[in-house]
Amino acid sequence: MTVATITDAELAPKDYASDQEVRWCPGCGDYAILKAVQKALAELGARRERTVFVSGIGCAARFPYYLSTYGFHTIHGRAPTIATGIKLANPDLDVWVITGDGDGLSIGGNHMLHVLRRNVDLQIVLFNNEIYGLTKGQYSPTSRRGTRSPSTPQGSIENPVSPCAFALGAGARFVGRAVDTQQADVVALLKRAHAHKGASFVEVFQNCVVFNDGVFDSFTAKTAAPDAQLHLEHGKPLLFGPNKERGLRLKRGTLALEVVPVGDGGLPPHDILVHDETNRALAQLLVGLEPPEFPMALGVLYCAPATSYEADVYAQARAAGLGRDVADLGTLLTRDGTWTVE
Amino acid sequence: MATTTPPRARQSRESVVIRFAGDSGDGMQVTGSRFTVEAALAGNDLTTFPDFPAEIRAPAGTTYGVSAFQIHFGGVDVTTPGDAVDVLVAMNPAALKVDLKDLRLGGTVVVDTGAFTERNLAKAGFPANPIEDGSLAQYQVLTVDITRLTAEAVKDLGLSTREAHRCRNMWALGLMLWMYGRDRQVTTDWLRRKFADRPELAQANVAALNAGHAFGETAEMSEHLVGYTVAKAPVEPGRYRAVSGTEAIAWGLIAGMRAAGLQKMIFAGYPITPASLLLHTLANLKAHGVITFQAEDEIAAIGAVIGAAYAGALGVTSSSGPGMALKTEMLGLAIATELPLVVVNSQRAGPSTGMPTKAEQSDLFQAVHGRNADAPLAVIAPATASDCFEVAIEAVRIATKYMTPVILLSDAYLAHAAEPWRLPDPSALPRFPVHFRTDPAGFHPFLRDPVTLARAWAVPGTSGLEHRIGGLEKDYDTGHISYDPENHARMTRTRAAKIAGIANDIPRQRAALGADHGAVAVVGWGSTYGAIQQAVRDAREDGLDVSHVHLRYLNPFPSNLGDLLKRFDRVLVPEMNTGQLVQLLRAAYLVPAEGLNKVEGKPFKVAELSAAIRASL
């Protein structure tokens, strides 16, 4: 039984790689995310035969082909629907959805809304590169105003959607984000997402080297990151900066955050707001912060578990006797009355 | 039977068509359904058809708020709800206005004079009272103040005026049950169960029912109030029940799931008229292994069932024309990934929103060809409400055996039409257990059965068979992504050959009535069965050389269909569209088939078909 031996053994990240040649552009952020996912799967001890990666269309959607688990590369924007069906048919499977900003928030925006509000137990990883890569560089729903692209030669005049703000608005119970190249953070976030029962929404800022290179530099460049990234930890004060010398607190008299100095010459640490990942209102404040005035909040913005959709579906179905009468067709056909002709 | 001797001799009728018509709030559907049960219990064959307004709560008394229920019952084989109405029960002026046109000349119209108030007459658009102005002279008019007589019958029961008024339908039912000598015990029992927590309502409804019945027996006889007898139909012995097309599809899907050895059906749908009824029906059948999912849209509904099929369940979705259009891309994915799926389309009049409550057969092209690229799938259609059961089982068989989506083409008529159904012996139903792949040796996801060409069904959770599928073209030999030109040609041919091969696994086409050669073949599909059957039967009784050929399998066609059609001098194809099957037949077999087309949102009348048959000879 070689098969059993392989699956039961402890697997290394490389064991989650398929035999297919990875075909993203050299330098694409997707490579880093792929490595992080494989590492996370290994650390989770994920069983390949029970793990399913479902994707839509786009650069990110090639993802399942590069993993040795079950995989379904579906159609544009619709991965959440197929993932929902998989969980309904077999709630024991561990199902991941890989999507992008165009796939998940433009053509598939409706499904994203509903899969999140239903709270289907999935890990949804949205690679946000603020551009349509596979179709050669058109602006996407997350592109900032002014983005010049083949379809917006004078610059985009649309207001972008914030993926995590959308997820919170849709009623997601787990919302987090990370930067593609910060592997340890991505792995940690994916593991948290996996531990959360229900729909877990993870946004990964992913650099497209060809069509949108450096779009996240303001907070991901090595020199900028310490000042522009706020790494959230539940129960810890919201501090950032190379020496954690700045913090966030509620601005007096208004429902907004402000950056304040901490420590020498600044406020005492206990005046700084403490992260509570179960607090939706706080998550909504954090999700809107952007450089240069504020740091980008990374990590788990919100985590407040509730019963997952498929668990409720099966609870109801069992209460109604799920499958009890599968073999008893006669009962089904004769209910509501019959008559006999002699 | 509880009926007493009628005051005057009852006249005999071979079959009768009654239409109960009233305001949406008058309970006409219930009235018709109860009459149906009593007629069925008395041994009549029958077909029923409800005709309710598109508006949910149209203003009371208006013509667009009229709800009707038609029943055709008889002592003979009854195949349609009837061309013309023999007895129209009009509970208000609007019902008379809308439905009188379908009453045959000389037919009986029962009117509740209590509802023919000036206000109601005005709402229905009658300048004068039609009961008094002679405009009903061509009919037998039976005027009864049902409103007042009902109020009297229930007056001691402490009901509000409104509650009392709502018992009128039972009064009318009682009269009609008297008229045709039908029992009312089962309805009485049913009323007591239905209003178990409001005994006074149960009592009132039973009182109204009995009062209507007694009126027939004892009232000062109007010359138009005649009792009839309708003999038992010569039906096969067995256990029967009434079934609508929607119910039969639901139960057939469950029987199919069981026949395939599957434990679970995932049914996903999005609300759409007239398909929602199937979602509602299945939502109550969890004990039979059904999980229903109301998706956020049509695309999500089919997406979920593709996911369910991928995970090893029976995946079923259902919709109507506009929703089917939305599902198109997903159907392509199911074809490319070769996953089993049953898609029920309750066709309605179109294009676009069209007439949502009205039947048409105009989605045949869409079903057979309506996808981007070469994307073949199987298409089958039930002929009658009870046939829906077998056809649903067959859809599951083809889907799972050939790893393909199957479109089951029902329509707005079949969704609601009901008829008696002789219950099948569950132990005698077909079995076609699926075999999930578990052996990793030599496995790849597009490994095919050499006979059916179906790919292996390997479901997540199976160790050693981890694989990736998707909408991209796959290599025939490995299942990996391939852009190789020759491979694409080979895969395209294989997908086509797989579907074409189903023709070898379905019954040869036979005539439903008449010889397998002759002067005229009337070739139909779907819900036109009953009308064609009756028209061909009538023609044959008149000595005409006509056969009825009815297609269940629309893609692929049965292997002998071309040969069969070529043995007829003429091929006449009645369809509720502008000519779709006729084109498919002409294209496939180069036969000079001629269309007979009706697109009024209404089923063919037997008379229309009879005229066309006679004209073709």
Residue A104 has pLDDT above 60, yes or no: yes
Q: With a cut of 0.85, is the ipTM above it?
A: yes
- Cβ under 8 Å to B: A residues 196-225: none
User: For position A250, what pLDDT does the model report?
Assistant: 96
The share of chain A scoring above pLDDT 70, in percent, equals: 97
The pLDDT tens digits of the residues spanning B398-449 come to: 999 999 999 999 999 999 999 999 999 999 999 999 999 999 999 999 999 9
Q: Is-contact B282 B292, C-beta < 8 A? A: yes
How far apart are alpha carbons B338 and B582 in whole angstroms? 29
Taking an 8 Å cut-off on Cβ atoms, the answer to whether B466 and A3 are in contact is no
Cβ-Cβ contacts under 8 Å between A and B: the total is 217
The share of chain B scoring above pLDDT 70, in percent, equals: 98
The pLDDT tens digits of the residues spanning A233-249 come to: 999 999 999 999 999 99
Q: Which of B266, B469, B480 sits opposite A88 (nearest CB)?
A: B266
- Please list, residue by residue across B310-339, b when 16 or more beta carbons sit within 10 angstroms of its beta carbon and e when fewer do: bbbbbbbbbbbbbbbbbbbbbbbbbbbbbb
User: For position B55, what pLDDT does the model report?
Assistant: 74
**Please, which pLDDT band fits residue B222 given cuts at 50, 70 and 90?**
low
Mean pLDDT of A259-264: 93
User: For position B271, what pLDDT does the model report?
Assistant: 97
The share of chain B scoring above pLDDT 90, in percent, equals: 92
Residue A164, min C-alpha distance to chain B (Å): 21
Q: Does B313 touch chain A (CB under 8 A)?
A: yes
Nearest CA in chain B to A335: B241
User: For position A1, what pLDDT does the model report?
Assistant: 35
- Cβ under 8 Å to B: A residues 133-152: none
How far apart are alpha carbons B538 and B84 in whole angstroms? 16
Residue A261, min C-alpha distance to chain B (Å): 47
What is the pTM for the complete model shown? 0.95
User: For position B220, what pLDDT does the model report?
Assistant: 62
User: For position B103, what pLDDT does the model report?
Assistant: 97
Amino acid letter, A135: T
User: For position A328, what pLDDT does the model report?
Assistant: 87
Residue B544 has pLDDT above 70, yes or no: yes
**Please, which pLDDT band fits residue A335 given cuts at 50, 70 and 90?**
confident
Mean pLDDT of B119-141: 95
Q: A interface mutation test: which of B235, B329, B372, B463 has the most A CBs within 10 A?
A: B463
A contacts of B481 (beta carbons < 8 Å):
20, 65
Q: Which helix (H) or strand (E) holds B508?
A: none
**A172-181, B155-164, B571-580: lowest mean pLDDT where?**
B155-164
Q: Does A74 touch chain B (CB under 8 A)?
A: yes
Q: Which residues contact B425 (CB under 8 A, 6 or more apart)?
A: none
User: For position B230, what pLDDT does the model report?
Assistant: 95
Q: Which of A73, A82, A332 sits opposite B307 (nearest CB)?
A: A82
Residue that has been written with the tokens 């179709």 in this structure: A135
Residue B548 has pLDDT above 80, yes or no: yes
Before B274, cis peptide (omega within 30)? yes
User: For position B8, what pLDDT does the model report?
Assistant: 66
User: For position A331, what pLDDT does the model report?
Assistant: 87
Share the mean pLDDT of chain B.
95
Integer-rounded Cα radius of gyration of chain B = 27
Q: Which of A6, A81, A93 sits opposite B460 (nearest CB)?
A: A93
- Nearest-5° Cα angle at A74, B296 to A138: 90
Q: Which of B254, B333, B461 sits opposite A90 (nearest CB)?
A: B461
Mean pLDDT of B104-112: 96
The pLDDT tens digits of the residues spanning B502-521 come to: 999 999 999 999 999 999 99
Q: How many CB atoms lie within 10 A of CB B370?
A: 15
Residue B1 has pLDDT above 50, yes or no: no
Residue A3 has pLDDT above 70, yes or no: no
Burial level of B41, CB count in 10 A (0-12/13-18/19+)?
buried
Residue B218 has pLDDT above 90, yes or no: no
Q: Which of A4, A50, A316 sits opposite B461 (nearest CB)?
A: A50
**B29-38, B459-468, B497-506: lowest mean pLDDT where?**
B29-38
Residue A289, min C-alpha distance to chain B (Å): 31
Q: Does B239 touch chain A (CB under 8 A)?
A: yes
Which 3 state secondary structure label does DSSP give B31?
helix
The pLDDT tens digits of the residues spanning B369-393 come to: 999 999 999 999 999 999 999 999 9
Taking an 8 Å cut-off on Cβ atoms, the answer to whether B254 and A329 are in contact is yes
Mean pLDDT of B352-378: 96
Residue B257, min C-alpha distance to chain A (Å): 9
Nearest CA in chain A to B458: A70
